[in-house]
Structure 1
């Protein structure tokens, strides 16, 4: 009895298990077709869906998982499928197949997948495309075998996103916050997801040391990064990686945010990306399959050229098929096949066109066979120049550029251009000239420069003369013309003004030399003023010059400053050391009392210069300590009695200035009024 019960229980459990366990379908597809511009091609050549316990599924998702070009690529459901509809997501590059009235059968979905076609609106598409076909809504990347799902959740923190991602499952696969370890993954997840949000990288443990904090790469350093420009900037505890919002810098790139991110705008978290696949214990699933296509095209071309009429070799390569050569951009029949084509004899530049045999209707690629004219050079092989000077040589060409060389075999040109200015030449010298038209070289022609004598005017001169005398400037060269900077045309000129004078002497052979004369004037001695401060005298001249000074007529000095032992009559002698004049100025150095006591006792009751008789050409002005005039001594008031406007001036220090307009003498000092 117990044995019968055990057998019954075993079969009952099997029945219950079979009723509750849903086996995932197995998808298998093939397809690697060529795609030609302007056409459409089916993405799969065969497709099967095997599921032992289901007859259908709600949706099939077909995505361009590699090489997708938004705005150009398109997936379209063709054919008649009455129970199915389709929708195209241009951002994700994904086509969704769904039932119209109910769940579609695998038979209907298989037929529909085989009718999905790829097209591209560019006249010259390139690259390859990979397609993932999946029963789930997560994006499938064939290169990793993983699934990627964006989960919208406005304002979610990184730590909450990490926890929710780690608790997610997808057909038995364990989820984790995405770890994007290649450009393939980064572009696919960043550009083709339905939104942008958190990924699984952080440097919260050590600032600047970014690690993956989830998935199979948990705890490992980032060996691949896709940071936006200027990121990561590590500002304000920004320790968590986030895919940048669209329109902010590099599309699909990363930036670092704080755990919460911004409260609004481009840096507010919009959700997170969960990756499925690669975790220990994950089941082996075949809920996705993939196909691909390639675009046959001309991948490289090499133009050719010929110097003058001739044949030209052109090169082209293709990634698939054979290169066909044509004489026109459209129509016609091939004139040759293969990667290399030698043209017939050409007299003019001609364009040929290529296309791969696997896409004969694609736009053809132009390749040019250039016929360059062999240049003809025009130059005088004999030239004349002036010794000690540079010479300008000229040449013209019918095509290309002119190059000048130092020898017949030189490879490094001295100059490129029609006119070449030689270095200074002191002997007969030969140069060589040729023309180059895109590698087509003319015959190299020697040009010999024969030198003619150049007037030798000697070195430049500096002439110093007294300001009241003229300077004679002269040069001489036989059978020559003269041109002075002041307009004169004679061999010599006489000038009275200081300055720079130039003369150009041109020989009968038209060789010229220029000489510069600099004329400096020694100024004549002219007194500006004499200043005596106490018994210290300073001489001021109208112009600075080379002057010597004396007050006894015997001993001269270069300094204009004298110390007078006492007042009295003197004669100041000034002479210019180059003999440009002598000046004698008689003057009186007045002695002024250091104080006076205007107290009406008959002693020092008034103040003036000792023995000074003020004339109409002299002034003696007295100032208080604030610079205010308190009295002026003149012929009518020969001394000061210590009063200001009839009032006694206070005892204090006062200042005076004596001026003689006849000889420019000026004395100043101070004295005390005592009471």
Structure 2
């Protein structure tokens, strides 16, 4: 039985063999003799050919970079499969340890685009084999399975785990095409790697800490670490603890060869791990051992105090933003005291506030509590704004102007009209405002509402019996008068004798008076000729002012009942000596050039 493809299930050792095929812009060099049966080319590889190149820009293949991280013009093994399936690569790997489990891995990518071969591209399918050094005993093999042409530029890693036999220190790696060539089955291979495979080894403290972050001001920190292998590969365990400051260079710690290790007092970031092997003889042979998980003790330096961007001055009613800068993206906390005090705002380089005072910014680590030893003071000064009178409303008489006064001195003014004086004259109704700025540069705004008072506009004046009724075409707080001296709020003048009058109308804000002459003719609405000497005759009042007057009275059928002139303008309700019945009657009065018509009632 041979292992299928799969990665080491535990921890791995450092790489003991790598092949990244180099770098450069020139194709090659050709692989050593015996490595492949394919033909080398420095140009486009055809079926059964290969090249070592930093480009894959051949045919309609994907154009991509090699896999090796950090390479500049890194190369890969570019293979155009032969028409006949079979082996295309073999390489001997030496210097292994006997009875040791290893992981082989390599990165592959199908070079065909998604639309190659009209969508019928032959998939890549590679078999990895590990043989003993005699090339007669296969230790393990596994297939990638079909890798279709999807057009992705992401490399995929494949791995195979195997174990060397007693006395065996080298193996032969072989790669075979499981598919014939043709349109498709074009592959790039990079970063072939061998490394030892062992138990999954965790490192933790008794409190189950897998790492530790501390602040520099905590002094030397130490921990008791325990390495715990899962025994999935090794049956026995030998240890050698190591430490590093960069996880690149590791140094053995003398006499630390057990599963439990007490770290020294750490004052700077240090990393610890243990090498592990089944035999003490192999623990220091990097071809045979594996390494555990790394336990980090990260010592954070105490942050420097933040740098202030300057004190801030604002005006009353505004918000000021206090800001500081800090290195390494530390968190900033704001306090109301240089030491202790109350936390105002956390994790923000900007403090927005409107209360005058000095505030203190402290830098702190974003990982743990590790604060600067001092805090940076930033002061907010709040200057008073001008105290202005309340907004006001005023009135503007029609066709006149009024004065607006800011009513505060020793400041500057900016009116919405563009004026810059304390007072302005306006002749239009509307909204006006003035921005008042004091010597601190602080401003306040006062608003004025100007309403126009329109002069009354008399619409009509009528006589309603002895009452004069005045109507206006516009509304307002109007007052009315018949003599221009005594005004009343009512537009009705009752019991007014007939005659010529001048009607006066004014607004009660004294914006002006309008007048109109009116002839008031008092025509009774009814009369009662019943002999009681009260209202016995129909007699219009006010006709005496006219030079020539005629009056005609008719019944409802148009029959003339009375005709009189200037000397006879009344009627007693009779016709040819006969008393007429109760009814409505009509009159026609001609006074000089004026003609008046209407009706009245006779009641008995």
- Scaled to the shorter chain, the TM-score interval is 0.3 to 0.5
Structure whose alpha-carbon radius of gyration is higher:
2
Greater helix fraction, Structure 1 or Structure 2: 1
Provide TM-score, normalisation by structure 2.
0.38
Higher relative contact order (Cα pairs below 8 Å, separated by 6+ residues): 2
TM-score normalised per structure 1: 0.35
